[in-house]
Amino acid sequence: MSTRRPTEPYPRQPYRADSDGRHDIAIANCEECGDEFDLTASDPRTQVCAPCWDRSLDAIETAFLDNYAKFGAKAHRTVAEALFRSQALADPDDRKVIGMRIVEEYLNAAQDLMALYVALRRRHEQPLLTTFTNFELNAPSVAAFRILTSGRSADDLLRDLQLPTLADVDAARGEIPRKDWRQFAGAVLTISNGIERVQKVDQGVLLELADGLKQSSALTHKMDWLPDRAMNPDQVALVVLNQRRRVLLTHALAIHEPQLEVFIDAIDKITGAARDLIWLYLHVRDTIALDDPQPGTT
């Protein structure tokens, strides 16, 4: 970080620029470049302008992705598998709660892979971290993701991200070390399989459940206390109260061992795809950087 001091201190209190202005503004000098910028819409503790902020996010991109691949993505699988093993010692009601949390880990893993795909696709427009951390799993984002990925081959998906395809890897087989070639080829297939699993998060009960989990954590194992509502013995439901619309919503999901094994397998494939997608992106980016040195270097 630069230690350059601002040319003048920013005002402690916001001031109105003119009598017709709709908002107060607070002018600060960026602690990185020294340029003036409006502090009103940002955290005053930051004191950096938008361009410098974007550059700081780009600077930590590699470390963030590396740590996410080794820990964040893997965490969804680790938690889901631990929950699944704990079912053996749980009573029937506890198994329903555990099952719902496993499904929640599936949704979290799916959201992360979607966010990573969209972030890589938009990396030339804004910092990857901005897109990734602001991505939300909802009906519009799922619909957009399906439009981008449905019916596309593994090569099409990677070409969309401006990454090497399986055909590219095969063509360069003689130039790539055997170990790297095998990892490249495996990553291409893993990414395609993971995206295929994510596409099953559709407009149905899983997406409704994802929305419900954001609004409420009220679980129930029975619904006979609600008029005209019932659920099967192997189901668990999430209750959401929409006060504005004056409606009580319930999202029920079957929780039994064979179904949970399907979710565990999906989480494994989705998190594996996220890790391989990160590996492929970082490996290709580093390779390009080595092949295209900066001016003035040899």
pLDDT tens for each residue of the chain, 298 residues long:
444 443 333 333 333 344 444 555 667 777 768 666 676 666 666 677 788 888 888 999 999 999 999 998 889 999 999 999 998 888 888 888 898 889 889 989 999 999 999 999 999 999 999 999 999 888 888 888 888 888 888 888 889 999 888 788 778 777 777 777 788 888 888 888 888 888 777 655 667 777 767 666 677 888 887 877 888 888 887 777 767 767 777 777 778 888 899 899 999 999 999 999 999 899 887 665 444 444 444 4
| Domain range for 84 | 60-289
Q: Look at residue 294 and tell me if it is in a domain.
A: no
Domain check: are 95 and 225 in the same one?
yes
Q: Which residues pair with 135 in a beta bridge?
A: none
Say what the pLDDT of residue 25 is: 61
Boundary residue ending a domain (15, 31, 57): 57
- Quick one: 82 and 179 in the same domain? yes
From CA 38, how far away is CA 25, in angstroms rounded? 6
Return d(Cα 100, Cα 106) in angstroms, integer. 10
Residues 87, 190 within the same domain: yes
Residue 166: predicted pLDDT: 78
Classify residue 296: in a domain, yes or no. Answer: no
DSSP state of 258: H
The verdict on 20 and 137 lying in the same domain is no
| Structural domain ending residue among the three candidates 19, 41, 57 | 57
Query: Based on the domain organization, do 163 and 88 belong to the same domain?
Result: yes
The verdict on residue 111 lying in a domain is yes
Per DSSP, the three-state class of 108 is helix
Number of domains composing the chain: 2
Cβ–Cβ < 8 Å for 148, 221: no
**HSE of 111 in the Cβ direction (CA atoms, 13 Å)?**
22
Taking the C-alpha atoms of residue 70 and residue 68, their distance in angstroms, rounded to an integer, is 5
User: How many residues are recorded in the chain?
Assistant: 298
Same domain, 96 and 145: yes
Q: Which pLDDT does position 289 carry in this prediction?
A: 46
Residue owning tokens 């129930």: 220
Of 200, 205, 171, 202, which Cα lies nearest the Cα of 185? 171
| Final residue of a structural domain among 18, 42, 57 | 57
Closest CA to 74 of 113, 101, 127: 113
DSSP classification of residue 293: P
Q: Say yes or no: 149 and 29 in one domain.
A: no
CB 186 within 8 A of CB 276: yes
Pairing of strands 36-38, 218-220: unpaired
Instruction: Provide, for the chain, the percentages of residues in helix, strand and coil under a 3-state DSSP scheme, each rounded to the nearest 5.
Output: 55, 10, 35
Domain identity same for 29 and 107: no
pTM of the model: 0.77
